[in-house]
Structure 1
Amino acid sequence: MRAYRQFATVYDRLMEDMPYSDWLRFARECWDRYGIPQTVVDLGCGTGSLAIPLARSGFQVFGIDLSADMLSIGRSKWDESPQQAIRSSAGAIRWLQQDMCSWELPEQVDAVISFCDCINYLTEEDYVEAAFRATYEGLKPGGVFLFDVHPPRTLQRYADEQPFVLDDRDIAYIWTSDLDSERVEIEHHLTIFVRESDEGPSHYNRFEEIHVQRAYQPKWIREALARAGFGRVESFADFRLAAPDDRSERLFFAAVK
Protein backbone atom coordinates (compact mmCIF):
# COMPACT_ATOMS: atom_id res chain seq x y z
CA MET A 1 0.00 0.00 0.00
CA ARG A 2 2.99 2.27 -0.57
CA ALA A 3 2.53 5.65 -2.21
CA TYR A 4 4.24 6.19 -5.57
CA ARG A 5 6.99 8.80 -5.34
CA GLN A 6 9.30 9.62 -8.27
CA PHE A 7 7.32 7.14 -10.36
CA ALA A 8 4.41 9.60 -10.40
CA THR A 9 6.37 11.96 -12.66
CA VAL A 10 6.57 9.37 -15.47
CA TYR A 11 3.42 7.39 -14.72
CA ASP A 12 1.31 8.82 -17.55
CA ARG A 13 4.11 8.34 -20.06
CA LEU A 14 4.51 4.67 -19.12
CA MET A 15 0.76 4.05 -18.95
CA GLU A 16 -0.27 5.81 -22.16
CA ASP A 17 -1.14 2.52 -23.90
CA MET A 18 -3.39 1.29 -21.09
CA PRO A 19 -7.02 0.61 -22.13
CA TYR A 20 -8.62 3.55 -20.31
CA SER A 21 -11.39 3.79 -22.91
CA ASP A 22 -12.26 0.13 -22.29
CA TRP A 23 -12.54 0.71 -18.53
CA LEU A 24 -14.82 3.70 -19.14
CA ARG A 25 -16.96 1.74 -21.59
CA PHE A 26 -17.23 -1.17 -19.18
CA ALA A 27 -18.28 1.13 -16.34
CA ARG A 28 -20.99 2.71 -18.48
CA GLU A 29 -22.30 -0.70 -19.56
CA CYS A 30 -22.48 -1.76 -15.92
CA TRP A 31 -24.22 1.47 -14.91
CA ASP A 32 -26.78 0.86 -17.64
CA ARG A 33 -27.34 -2.50 -15.95
CA TYR A 34 -27.34 -1.40 -12.29
CA GLY A 35 -28.32 2.27 -12.40
CA ILE A 36 -26.76 5.50 -13.67
CA PRO A 37 -24.89 7.29 -10.85
CA GLN A 38 -24.45 10.97 -10.22
CA THR A 39 -21.63 10.70 -7.68
CA VAL A 40 -18.65 8.41 -8.30
CA VAL A 41 -15.55 7.57 -6.26
CA ASP A 42 -12.49 6.59 -8.28
CA LEU A 43 -10.60 4.55 -5.69
CA GLY A 44 -6.88 4.47 -6.46
CA CYS A 45 -7.37 7.21 -9.04
CA GLY A 46 -3.68 7.78 -9.76
CA THR A 47 -3.24 10.80 -12.02
CA GLY A 48 -6.92 10.94 -12.92
CA SER A 49 -6.92 9.19 -16.29
CA LEU A 50 -10.40 7.81 -15.53
CA ALA A 51 -11.63 10.46 -13.07
CA ILE A 52 -11.10 13.34 -15.49
CA PRO A 53 -13.09 11.95 -18.44
CA LEU A 54 -15.86 10.93 -16.04
CA ALA A 55 -16.04 14.48 -14.70
CA ARG A 56 -16.01 15.86 -18.24
CA SER A 57 -19.06 13.68 -18.90
CA GLY A 58 -20.95 15.34 -16.06
CA PHE A 59 -20.36 13.05 -13.10
CA GLN A 60 -19.43 14.39 -9.68
CA VAL A 61 -16.18 12.53 -9.02
CA PHE A 62 -14.07 11.98 -5.92
CA GLY A 63 -10.53 10.95 -6.84
CA ILE A 64 -8.99 9.06 -3.93
CA ASP A 65 -5.37 7.95 -3.85
CA LEU A 66 -2.67 7.37 -1.25
CA SER A 67 -0.03 9.24 -3.25
CA ALA A 68 0.07 13.02 -2.90
CA ASP A 69 2.31 13.18 -5.97
CA MET A 70 -0.20 11.30 -8.12
CA LEU A 71 -3.02 13.53 -6.91
CA SER A 72 -0.99 16.66 -7.61
CA ILE A 73 -0.45 15.61 -11.21
CA GLY A 74 -4.13 14.72 -11.59
CA ARG A 75 -5.19 18.07 -10.18
CA SER A 76 -2.86 19.90 -12.59
CA LYS A 77 -4.21 17.92 -15.55
CA TRP A 78 -7.77 18.83 -14.57
CA ASP A 79 -6.97 22.50 -13.98
CA GLU A 80 -5.20 22.76 -17.34
CA SER A 81 -7.89 20.84 -19.19
CA PRO A 82 -8.97 22.25 -22.57
CA GLN A 83 -12.50 21.63 -21.34
CA GLN A 84 -12.32 24.84 -19.28
CA ALA A 85 -14.71 26.54 -21.72
CA ILE A 86 -17.46 24.03 -21.03
CA ARG A 87 -16.57 23.39 -17.39
CA SER A 88 -19.86 24.93 -16.26
CA SER A 89 -21.80 22.10 -17.92
CA ALA A 90 -19.36 19.38 -16.85
CA GLY A 91 -19.01 17.63 -13.55
CA ALA A 92 -16.39 18.25 -10.91
CA ILE A 93 -13.57 16.43 -9.18
CA ARG A 94 -12.55 16.56 -5.57
CA TRP A 95 -9.07 15.12 -5.01
CA LEU A 96 -8.52 13.35 -1.68
CA GLN A 97 -5.41 11.71 -0.22
CA GLN A 98 -6.73 8.70 1.64
CA ASP A 99 -5.96 5.02 2.13
CA MET A 100 -8.33 2.86 0.10
CA CYS A 101 -8.65 0.55 3.11
CA SER A 102 -10.14 3.27 5.29
CA TRP A 103 -11.48 5.93 2.94
CA GLU A 104 -14.54 7.92 3.90
CA LEU A 105 -16.58 10.91 2.72
CA PRO A 106 -19.10 13.09 4.54
CA GLU A 107 -21.89 11.63 2.39
CA GLN A 108 -22.44 8.30 0.69
CA VAL A 109 -22.04 8.04 -3.10
CA ASP A 110 -23.87 6.24 -5.91
CA ALA A 111 -20.92 4.28 -7.32
CA VAL A 112 -17.32 3.35 -6.66
CA ILE A 113 -14.82 2.18 -9.27
CA SER A 114 -11.34 0.76 -8.67
CA PHE A 115 -9.77 -0.26 -11.95
CA CYS A 116 -6.26 -0.93 -13.25
CA ASP A 117 -5.86 -3.85 -10.76
CA CYS A 118 -5.66 -1.57 -7.70
CA ILE A 119 -7.01 -4.33 -5.44
CA ASN A 120 -4.00 -6.51 -6.36
CA TYR A 121 -1.77 -3.97 -4.59
CA LEU A 122 -3.43 -4.93 -1.30
CA THR A 123 -1.13 -7.78 -0.38
CA GLU A 124 -2.90 -9.10 2.71
CA GLU A 125 -6.40 -10.52 2.93
CA ASP A 126 -7.15 -8.21 5.86
CA TYR A 127 -6.35 -5.18 3.68
CA VAL A 128 -8.73 -6.34 0.95
CA GLU A 129 -11.51 -6.98 3.44
CA ALA A 130 -10.97 -3.54 4.98
CA ALA A 131 -11.20 -1.90 1.55
CA PHE A 132 -14.43 -3.78 0.83
CA ARG A 133 -15.93 -2.73 4.18
CA ALA A 134 -14.96 0.92 3.68
CA THR A 135 -16.49 0.85 0.21
CA TYR A 136 -19.70 -0.76 1.44
CA GLU A 137 -20.02 1.94 4.10
CA GLY A 138 -19.32 4.66 1.53
CA LEU A 139 -22.06 3.58 -0.88
CA LYS A 140 -25.71 4.51 -0.82
CA PRO A 141 -28.17 1.60 -0.67
CA GLY A 142 -28.38 0.22 -4.20
CA GLY A 143 -24.95 1.65 -5.06
CA VAL A 144 -22.52 -0.41 -7.09
CA PHE A 145 -18.83 -1.16 -6.61
CA LEU A 146 -16.97 -2.00 -9.84
CA PHE A 147 -13.38 -3.23 -9.78
CA ASP A 148 -10.98 -5.47 -11.63
CA VAL A 149 -8.17 -7.78 -10.56
CA HIS A 150 -5.48 -9.89 -12.12
CA PRO A 151 -6.23 -13.57 -11.44
CA PRO A 152 -3.42 -15.91 -10.39
CA ARG A 153 -2.76 -17.05 -13.97
CA THR A 154 -1.94 -13.49 -15.07
CA LEU A 155 0.72 -13.06 -12.39
CA GLN A 156 2.17 -16.42 -13.41
CA ARG A 157 2.28 -15.22 -17.02
CA TYR A 158 4.18 -12.08 -15.98
CA ALA A 159 6.73 -14.26 -14.20
CA ASP A 160 7.05 -16.58 -17.21
CA GLU A 161 7.40 -13.78 -19.78
CA GLN A 162 9.70 -11.40 -17.90
CA PRO A 163 11.97 -9.49 -18.32
CA PHE A 164 10.21 -6.65 -20.11
CA VAL A 165 12.12 -3.83 -21.79
CA LEU A 166 11.13 -0.42 -23.15
CA ASP A 167 13.62 1.63 -25.15
CA ASP A 168 12.17 4.91 -26.41
CA ARG A 169 14.08 8.10 -27.09
CA ASP A 170 12.85 9.92 -24.00
CA ILE A 171 12.31 7.04 -21.58
CA ALA A 172 13.45 3.45 -21.08
CA TYR A 173 13.03 0.74 -18.50
CA ILE A 174 14.08 -2.75 -17.54
CA TRP A 175 11.34 -4.64 -15.69
CA THR A 176 11.92 -7.97 -13.96
CA SER A 177 9.55 -9.95 -11.74
CA ASP A 178 9.85 -12.53 -8.97
CA LEU A 179 6.83 -14.69 -8.15
CA ASP A 180 6.09 -16.24 -4.77
CA SER A 181 3.94 -19.13 -6.00
CA GLU A 182 2.67 -20.07 -2.55
CA ARG A 183 1.24 -16.61 -1.83
CA VAL A 184 0.61 -15.88 -5.52
CA GLU A 185 2.47 -12.62 -4.93
CA ILE A 186 4.71 -10.98 -7.48
CA GLU A 187 7.42 -8.39 -6.92
CA HIS A 188 8.10 -6.12 -9.88
CA HIS A 189 11.51 -4.46 -10.07
CA LEU A 190 11.69 -1.50 -12.44
CA THR A 191 14.82 0.41 -13.36
CA ILE A 192 13.69 3.52 -15.21
CA PHE A 193 15.77 5.93 -17.29
CA VAL A 194 14.29 9.34 -18.14
CA ARG A 195 15.92 11.66 -20.69
CA GLU A 196 16.71 14.97 -19.03
CA SER A 197 16.60 17.21 -22.14
CA ASP A 198 16.25 17.02 -25.91
CA GLU A 199 19.02 19.58 -26.28
CA GLY A 200 22.72 18.84 -26.10
CA PRO A 201 24.28 15.50 -25.13
CA SER A 202 21.88 12.83 -24.02
CA HIS A 203 21.66 12.54 -20.25
CA TYR A 204 19.30 10.19 -18.43
CA ASN A 205 18.17 10.22 -14.85
CA ARG A 206 17.89 6.74 -13.37
CA PHE A 207 15.66 5.61 -10.54
CA GLU A 208 14.32 2.32 -9.29
CA GLU A 209 10.87 1.22 -8.17
CA ILE A 210 9.55 -1.95 -6.55
CA HIS A 211 5.86 -2.75 -6.82
CA VAL A 212 4.20 -5.78 -5.23
CA GLN A 213 0.91 -7.35 -6.24
CA ARG A 214 -0.98 -10.35 -4.94
CA ALA A 215 -3.68 -12.36 -6.67
CA TYR A 216 -6.68 -13.84 -4.88
CA GLN A 217 -8.96 -16.67 -5.90
CA PRO A 218 -12.28 -15.42 -7.34
CA LYS A 219 -14.26 -17.51 -4.87
CA TRP A 220 -12.48 -15.83 -1.95
CA ILE A 221 -13.16 -12.38 -3.42
CA ARG A 222 -16.88 -13.11 -3.73
CA GLU A 223 -16.97 -14.40 -0.16
CA ALA A 224 -15.10 -11.33 1.12
CA LEU A 225 -17.58 -9.04 -0.64
CA ALA A 226 -20.45 -10.92 0.99
CA ARG A 227 -18.79 -10.61 4.40
CA ALA A 228 -18.54 -6.85 3.82
CA GLY A 229 -22.31 -6.77 3.33
CA PHE A 230 -22.78 -6.75 -0.44
CA GLY A 231 -25.90 -8.66 -1.36
CA ARG A 232 -25.49 -9.06 -5.11
CA VAL A 233 -22.15 -9.91 -6.66
CA GLU A 234 -21.51 -10.67 -10.32
CA SER A 235 -18.23 -11.42 -12.06
CA PHE A 236 -17.15 -10.75 -15.63
CA ALA A 237 -13.97 -10.94 -17.66
CA ASP A 238 -11.76 -8.96 -19.98
CA PHE A 239 -13.89 -5.81 -20.29
CA ARG A 240 -17.03 -7.70 -21.35
CA LEU A 241 -20.28 -8.49 -19.56
CA ALA A 242 -19.50 -12.17 -20.02
CA ALA A 243 -18.69 -14.84 -17.45
CA PRO A 244 -15.00 -15.49 -16.79
CA ASP A 245 -13.33 -18.78 -17.63
CA ASP A 246 -9.91 -20.37 -17.19
CA ARG A 247 -8.46 -18.24 -20.01
CA SER A 248 -9.54 -14.87 -18.59
CA GLU A 249 -6.67 -12.41 -18.16
CA ARG A 250 -8.49 -9.77 -16.11
CA LEU A 251 -11.49 -10.38 -13.84
CA PHE A 252 -14.17 -7.78 -13.13
CA PHE A 253 -16.58 -7.69 -10.20
CA ALA A 254 -19.79 -5.76 -9.71
CA ALA A 255 -21.03 -5.69 -6.11
CA VAL A 256 -24.32 -4.03 -5.23
CA LYS A 257 -25.15 -2.73 -1.75
Structure 2
Amino acid sequence: MIYHDYAPIYHAAGQAAFGTALAQIILAHLPVLPQRTLDLACGTGAAALVLAAAGATVVGVDSSPAMLAIAREQAHQRRLAIEWIEADIRALPDDPRLPPGSFDLCTSLFDSLNHLTDDDDLAKVCRAVGRLLRPGGQFIFDLNTLAGFRTWHEYDQVLFDGRDLLVVNRLHFDEHQQRAYGRFVWFQRRGERWWRGEETHCERPWSDAQIAAALAAGGLRLVMRLTPQWTPATEDAPRVVYISEKYAE
Protein backbone atom coordinates (compact mmCIF):
# COMPACT_ATOMS: atom_id res chain seq x y z
CA MET A 1 0.00 0.00 0.00
CA ILE A 2 1.31 3.45 -0.90
CA TYR A 3 1.62 6.12 1.79
CA HIS A 4 2.38 3.54 4.47
CA ASP A 5 6.11 3.64 5.08
CA TYR A 6 6.18 6.97 3.27
CA ALA A 7 3.56 8.68 5.50
CA PRO A 8 5.97 10.00 8.19
CA ILE A 9 8.45 11.00 5.48
CA TYR A 10 5.71 12.87 3.59
CA HIS A 11 4.87 14.72 6.79
CA ALA A 12 8.47 15.46 7.79
CA ALA A 13 9.30 16.74 4.30
CA GLY A 14 6.43 19.24 4.44
CA GLN A 15 4.64 17.90 1.38
CA ALA A 16 1.27 18.84 2.85
CA ALA A 17 2.13 22.52 2.31
CA PHE A 18 0.58 22.57 -1.19
CA GLY A 19 -2.76 21.28 0.08
CA THR A 20 -2.70 23.77 2.94
CA ALA A 21 -2.02 26.71 0.62
CA LEU A 22 -4.64 25.65 -1.93
CA ALA A 23 -7.28 25.16 0.78
CA GLN A 24 -6.58 28.67 2.03
CA ILE A 25 -6.95 30.07 -1.50
CA ILE A 26 -10.23 28.19 -1.96
CA LEU A 27 -11.61 29.58 1.30
CA ALA A 28 -10.58 33.09 0.32
CA HIS A 29 -12.62 32.84 -2.90
CA LEU A 30 -15.76 31.22 -1.52
CA PRO A 31 -18.61 33.70 -1.01
CA VAL A 32 -19.56 32.09 2.31
CA LEU A 33 -17.92 29.58 4.63
CA PRO A 34 -19.29 26.08 3.92
CA GLN A 35 -20.92 24.68 7.06
CA ARG A 36 -20.19 21.03 6.28
CA THR A 37 -17.21 19.95 4.22
CA LEU A 38 -15.86 16.61 3.05
CA ASP A 39 -12.17 16.16 2.19
CA LEU A 40 -11.49 13.06 0.09
CA ALA A 41 -8.03 11.47 0.03
CA CYS A 42 -7.31 13.83 2.92
CA GLY A 43 -3.83 12.44 3.62
CA THR A 44 -2.31 14.02 6.71
CA GLY A 45 -5.20 16.47 6.90
CA ALA A 46 -3.82 19.56 5.16
CA ALA A 47 -7.09 20.86 3.71
CA ALA A 48 -9.27 19.44 6.49
CA LEU A 49 -7.28 21.32 9.12
CA VAL A 50 -7.62 24.61 7.24
CA LEU A 51 -11.37 24.17 6.77
CA ALA A 52 -11.95 23.17 10.39
CA ALA A 53 -9.85 26.07 11.69
CA ALA A 54 -12.07 28.42 9.68
CA GLY A 55 -15.13 27.08 11.50
CA ALA A 56 -16.51 24.41 9.18
CA THR A 57 -17.62 20.96 10.31
CA VAL A 58 -15.23 18.61 8.52
CA VAL A 59 -15.05 14.93 7.64
CA GLY A 60 -11.80 13.60 6.16
CA VAL A 61 -11.55 10.30 4.28
CA ASP A 62 -8.40 8.42 3.31
CA SER A 63 -7.44 4.79 2.68
CA SER A 64 -4.07 5.02 4.45
CA PRO A 65 -4.18 4.39 8.21
CA ALA A 66 -0.64 5.76 8.51
CA MET A 67 -1.61 9.08 6.93
CA LEU A 68 -4.78 9.28 9.03
CA ALA A 69 -2.80 8.68 12.22
CA ILE A 70 -0.78 11.80 11.48
CA ALA A 71 -3.94 13.73 10.57
CA ARG A 72 -5.55 12.79 13.88
CA GLU A 73 -2.48 13.91 15.81
CA GLN A 74 -2.37 17.21 13.92
CA ALA A 75 -6.04 17.86 14.69
CA HIS A 76 -5.52 16.93 18.34
CA GLN A 77 -2.61 19.35 18.65
CA ARG A 78 -4.76 22.14 17.19
CA ARG A 79 -7.81 21.15 19.26
CA LEU A 80 -9.91 20.72 16.11
CA ALA A 81 -12.84 18.29 16.14
CA ILE A 82 -12.58 16.53 12.76
CA GLU A 83 -14.15 13.19 11.91
CA TRP A 84 -11.72 10.81 10.17
CA ILE A 85 -12.86 7.81 8.13
CA GLU A 86 -10.55 5.12 6.77
CA ALA A 87 -12.03 4.14 3.41
CA ASP A 88 -11.44 3.90 -0.32
CA ILE A 89 -12.92 7.05 -1.88
CA ARG A 90 -14.20 4.93 -4.80
CA ALA A 91 -16.39 2.95 -2.41
CA LEU A 92 -17.44 5.16 0.47
CA PRO A 93 -19.18 3.25 3.25
CA ASP A 94 -22.72 3.66 4.49
CA ASP A 95 -21.72 5.72 7.50
CA PRO A 96 -23.78 8.03 9.73
CA ARG A 97 -21.03 10.61 9.38
CA LEU A 98 -21.72 10.70 5.63
CA PRO A 99 -25.44 11.51 5.33
CA PRO A 100 -26.59 12.01 1.72
CA GLY A 101 -27.16 15.58 0.58
CA SER A 102 -25.57 17.08 3.69
CA PHE A 103 -22.28 18.60 2.49
CA ASP A 104 -21.83 22.11 1.14
CA LEU A 105 -18.30 21.50 -0.17
CA CYS A 106 -16.17 18.51 -1.11
CA THR A 107 -12.46 18.83 -1.82
CA SER A 108 -9.74 16.48 -3.05
CA LEU A 109 -6.42 18.27 -3.34
CA PHE A 110 -2.78 17.78 -4.35
CA ASP A 111 -3.48 15.61 -7.44
CA SER A 112 -5.10 12.91 -5.31
CA LEU A 113 -7.49 11.94 -8.11
CA ASN A 114 -4.59 11.35 -10.50
CA HIS A 115 -3.90 8.25 -8.42
CA LEU A 116 -7.17 6.76 -9.72
CA THR A 117 -5.98 4.75 -12.70
CA ASP A 118 -8.91 2.55 -13.83
CA ASP A 119 -11.20 4.03 -16.47
CA ASP A 120 -14.30 4.06 -14.24
CA ASP A 121 -12.57 5.19 -11.04
CA LEU A 122 -13.22 8.91 -11.42
CA ALA A 123 -16.90 8.35 -12.16
CA LYS A 124 -17.20 6.21 -9.01
CA VAL A 125 -15.86 9.07 -6.92
CA CYS A 126 -18.09 11.63 -8.64
CA ARG A 127 -21.18 9.50 -8.07
CA ALA A 128 -20.35 9.34 -4.37
CA VAL A 129 -19.72 13.09 -4.23
CA GLY A 130 -22.97 13.80 -6.06
CA ARG A 131 -24.84 11.68 -3.53
CA LEU A 132 -23.30 13.48 -0.55
CA LEU A 133 -23.44 17.10 -1.75
CA ARG A 134 -26.51 19.23 -1.28
CA PRO A 135 -27.99 20.80 -4.46
CA GLY A 136 -25.70 23.67 -5.42
CA GLY A 137 -22.83 22.24 -3.35
CA GLN A 138 -19.35 22.37 -4.87
CA PHE A 139 -16.74 19.72 -5.63
CA ILE A 140 -13.26 21.30 -5.97
CA PHE A 141 -10.21 19.26 -6.92
CA ASP A 142 -6.89 19.69 -8.70
CA LEU A 143 -5.15 17.41 -11.19
CA ASN A 144 -1.84 17.11 -12.93
CA THR A 145 -2.57 17.43 -16.64
CA LEU A 146 -1.21 15.58 -19.66
CA ALA A 147 0.85 18.67 -20.45
CA GLY A 148 2.29 18.56 -16.95
CA PHE A 149 3.10 14.85 -17.09
CA ARG A 150 4.90 15.35 -20.39
CA THR A 151 7.53 17.34 -18.49
CA TRP A 152 8.39 14.30 -16.35
CA HIS A 153 11.53 13.39 -18.28
CA GLU A 154 13.43 10.92 -16.10
CA TYR A 155 14.86 13.43 -13.68
CA ASP A 156 15.36 13.50 -9.95
CA GLN A 157 13.42 16.10 -8.00
CA VAL A 158 14.85 16.87 -4.55
CA LEU A 159 11.81 17.29 -2.30
CA PHE A 160 13.64 17.76 0.99
CA ASP A 161 17.28 18.05 1.99
CA GLY A 162 17.75 18.38 5.72
CA ARG A 163 20.22 17.40 8.40
CA ASP A 164 18.56 14.06 9.11
CA LEU A 165 16.42 13.50 6.01
CA LEU A 166 16.88 13.53 2.23
CA VAL A 167 13.91 12.86 -0.06
CA VAL A 168 14.24 12.49 -3.84
CA ASN A 169 11.50 11.81 -6.36
CA ARG A 170 12.45 10.34 -9.75
CA LEU A 171 9.77 11.31 -12.28
CA HIS A 172 8.88 9.33 -15.40
CA PHE A 173 5.95 9.48 -17.84
CA ASP A 174 5.09 6.63 -20.18
CA GLU A 175 3.32 8.33 -23.09
CA HIS A 176 2.16 5.07 -24.66
CA GLN A 177 0.62 3.70 -21.45
CA GLN A 178 -0.49 7.15 -20.26
CA ARG A 179 0.96 6.47 -16.82
CA ALA A 180 3.19 8.69 -14.73
CA TYR A 181 5.48 7.37 -12.01
CA GLY A 182 7.02 9.03 -9.01
CA ARG A 183 9.70 6.88 -7.42
CA PHE A 184 10.23 8.30 -3.94
CA VAL A 185 13.57 7.42 -2.36
CA TRP A 186 14.52 8.69 1.07
CA PHE A 187 17.46 8.51 3.44
CA GLN A 188 16.73 9.11 7.11
CA ARG A 189 19.23 9.38 9.94
CA ARG A 190 18.38 7.48 13.11
CA GLY A 191 21.10 7.85 15.68
CA GLU A 192 24.41 7.19 13.97
CA ARG A 193 22.93 5.30 11.01
CA TRP A 194 21.17 6.27 7.81
CA TRP A 195 18.20 4.19 6.65
CA ARG A 196 16.93 4.01 3.07
CA GLY A 197 13.32 3.66 1.97
CA GLU A 198 11.54 3.60 -1.37
CA GLU A 199 7.96 3.79 -2.64
CA THR A 200 6.65 4.17 -6.20
CA HIS A 201 3.39 5.99 -6.93
CA CYS A 202 1.50 5.71 -10.23
CA GLU A 203 -0.75 8.43 -11.64
CA ARG A 204 -2.70 8.96 -14.86
CA PRO A 205 -3.88 12.05 -16.73
CA TRP A 206 -7.61 12.72 -17.09
CA SER A 207 -8.77 14.74 -20.09
CA ASP A 208 -11.36 17.50 -19.77
CA ALA A 209 -13.83 15.30 -21.66
CA GLN A 210 -13.29 12.40 -19.24
CA ILE A 211 -13.64 14.75 -16.28
CA ALA A 212 -16.87 16.24 -17.63
CA ALA A 213 -18.31 12.75 -18.23
CA ALA A 214 -17.37 11.60 -14.72
CA LEU A 215 -18.90 14.70 -13.18
CA ALA A 216 -22.09 14.20 -15.18
CA ALA A 217 -22.33 10.66 -13.83
CA GLY A 218 -22.63 12.20 -10.38
CA GLY A 219 -25.11 14.90 -11.34
CA LEU A 220 -22.36 17.53 -11.31
CA ARG A 221 -21.32 20.14 -13.85
CA LEU A 222 -17.98 21.82 -14.48
CA VAL A 223 -18.01 25.53 -13.66
CA MET A 224 -14.38 26.70 -13.98
CA ARG A 225 -10.83 25.58 -14.78
CA LEU A 226 -8.24 27.55 -12.82
CA THR A 227 -4.57 27.45 -11.92
CA PRO A 228 -3.60 26.95 -8.26
CA GLN A 229 -3.03 30.74 -8.23
CA TRP A 230 -6.72 31.16 -9.13
CA THR A 231 -6.22 32.50 -12.65
CA PRO A 232 -7.80 31.03 -15.80
CA ALA A 233 -6.01 27.82 -16.80
CA THR A 234 -4.66 27.56 -20.33
CA GLU A 235 -4.74 24.35 -22.38
CA ASP A 236 -1.07 23.68 -21.57
CA ALA A 237 -1.33 24.34 -17.82
CA PRO A 238 0.60 21.65 -15.89
CA ARG A 239 -1.95 21.58 -13.06
CA VAL A 240 -5.60 22.61 -13.09
CA VAL A 241 -8.07 23.26 -10.30
CA TYR A 242 -11.57 22.17 -11.33
CA ILE A 243 -14.59 23.86 -9.78
CA SER A 244 -17.80 21.89 -10.19
CA GLU A 245 -21.22 21.97 -8.58
CA LYS A 246 -24.20 19.70 -8.08
CA TYR A 247 -27.22 20.53 -10.16
CA ALA A 248 -29.98 22.20 -8.19
CA GLU A 249 -33.05 20.00 -7.93
Distance (whole Å) between structure 2 residues aligned to residue 244 and residue 135 of structure 1: 24
Contact 2:188 2:195 in 1 (8 A): yes
TM-score of the superposed pair, with normalisation by structure 1: 0.86
SS class of match (1:22) = helix
Task: Give the equivalent residue in structure 2 for 1:217.
Answer: 207
Matched, 1:95 2:84: yes
Runs of 5+ in structure 1 lacking a partner? none
Cα deviation, residue 3, structure 1? 4.3
SS class of match (1:123) = coil
Equivalent of 1:55 in 38, 47, 52: 52
Distance (whole Å) between structure 1 residues aligned to residue 21 and residue 33 of structure 2: 18
> Matches of residues 109-124 of structure 1 in structure 2 within 5 Å?
109-124=103-118
Distance (whole Å) between structure 1 residues aligned to residue 25 and residue 40 of structure 2: 16
Contact 1:196 1:204 in 2 (8 A): yes
Distance (whole Å) between structure 1 residues aligned to residue 183 and residue 20 of structure 2: 28
The amino acid that maps onto 1:25 is Q
- CA 1:21–1:47: 2 relative to 1, 3 Å: closer
The amino acid that maps onto 1:27 is I
Cα deviation, residue 15, structure 1? 3.0
Task: Give the equivalent residue in structure 1 for 2:42.
Answer: 45
Task: Give the equivalent residue in structure 1 for 2:68.
Answer: 71
Matched, 1:23 2:22: yes
Distance (whole Å) between structure 2 residues aligned to residue 112 and residue 93 of structure 1: 14
Distance (whole Å) between structure 2 residues aligned to residue 25 and residue 234 of structure 1: 20
SS class of match (1:10) = helix
Compare the two structures and name the one with the higher helix fraction: 1
Distance (whole Å) between structure 2 residues aligned to residue 23 and residue 175 of structure 1: 22
- CA 1:69–1:152: 2 relative to 1, 3 Å: same
- CA 1:256–1:65: 2 relative to 1, 3 Å: same
Distance (whole Å) between structure 1 residues aligned to residue 2 and residue 185 of structure 2: 17
Cα deviation, residue 256, structure 1? 0.9
Cα deviation, residue 37, structure 1? 1.3
Contact 1:184 1:216 in 2 (8 A): no
- CA 1:241–1:179: 2 relative to 1, 3 Å: closer
Cα deviation, residue 182, structure 1? 2.3
- CA 1:214–1:154: 2 relative to 1, 3 Å: same
Task: Give the equivalent residue in structure 1 for 2:145.
Answer: 151
The amino acid that maps onto 1:245 is T
Distance (whole Å) between structure 2 residues aligned to residue 189 and residue 167 of structure 1: 16
Distance (whole Å) between structure 2 residues aligned to residue 120 and residue 228 of structure 1: 18
Aligned-residue Cα RMSD (Å) equals 2.0
Distance (whole Å) between structure 2 residues aligned to residue 125 and residue 136 of structure 1: 18
The percentage of aligned residue pairs carrying the same residue is 27
- CA 1:99–1:142: 2 relative to 1, 3 Å: same
Distance (whole Å) between structure 2 residues aligned to residue 240 and residue 189 of structure 1: 27
The amino acid that maps onto 1:255 is S
Distance (whole Å) between structure 2 residues aligned to residue 194 and residue 9 of structure 1: 11
Matched, 1:238 2:227: yes
TM-score of the superposed pair, with normalisation by structure 2: 0.88
Contact 2:16 2:46 in 1 (8 A): no
- CA 1:189–1:69: 2 relative to 1, 3 Å: same
Task: Give the equivalent residue in structure 1 for 2:127.
Answer: 133
Cα deviation, residue 224, structure 1? 1.8
Cα deviation, residue 156, structure 1? 1.4
Distance (whole Å) between structure 2 residues aligned to residue 16 and residue 216 of structure 1: 23
Moved over 6 A (4+): none
